Amino acid sequence: MEDNGARGKWALLRSAPADTDDPYVVAARRRLARWEDLGAASLNIGQRPFLIKEEEYRRIRGEFGGAGVDLLEVDATNVVTEHKFLVLLGKIYKFPEYYGENWDAFLDCYADVVEADETPLILAIFGLSNFCESNFREFLRSLYELESITESISLFRSVIPRRVINVYPGNWSL
């Protein structure tokens, strides 16, 4: 019995010879190679969530700008609640009008957006220190949810090729 789901695709990738001309296998292997090119290790910024100094972000920006990586910079200085954070994320990713501004709705819409493109993305969200100072608990929960969703989507990289890394440049007291 043939499995056409994710298991079947992984089995095909593992069992295909190195010199295969199967277009699906060739494209998937190319995506996986690009995926490995852009990871936390190559960014040299530690572990999630990436609360980094602005100087560190400028280094990353210089390294990856124009290297087949999309850089998206967002000003979040007016974000001080989880709801405003979700609204901002919906605007960043141009979610449809029916986006419900909660984490379940974010996951549904985010998966569609990420699946639509293969170019790796570094999303830099500036100004979240205001959110951190105004409501630390909501800030932590929001970052946790965003990072969890980003990470869970990344587990499907054979079928969702886009790699997304969220960084949070700011004047953090680390």
| pLDDT tops 60 at residue 174 | no
**Half-sphere exposure in the Cβ direction for 31 (13 Å, CA):** 20
The pLDDT tens digits for 49-68 are 678 888 888 887 887 766 67
Spatial contact of 106 and 89, defined as CB atoms under 8 Å apart: yes
Q: Which fold has domain 38-170?
A: Barnase; Chain D (3.30.370)
pLDDT digits (tens, 9 = 90+) for 14-28: 677 878 888 766 766
| Dihedral over Cα of 36, 95, 106, 47: its sign | positive
Q: Give, as one character, the DSSP assignment of residue 75.
A: E
Q: Using CA atoms, how far apart are residues 118 and 140, in angstroms rounded to an integer?
A: 29
Tokens read off for 28: 């998937």
pLDDT at 125: 94
So what's the pLDDT on residue 100? 84
Q: Is the pTM of this model over 0.75?
A: no
**pLDDT value for 103:** 93
Tokens read off for 133 = 């100072």
SS3 state of residue 28:
helix
pLDDT tens by residue, 85-136: 999 999 999 999 888 889 999 998 988 888 777 788 888 999 998 898 898 8
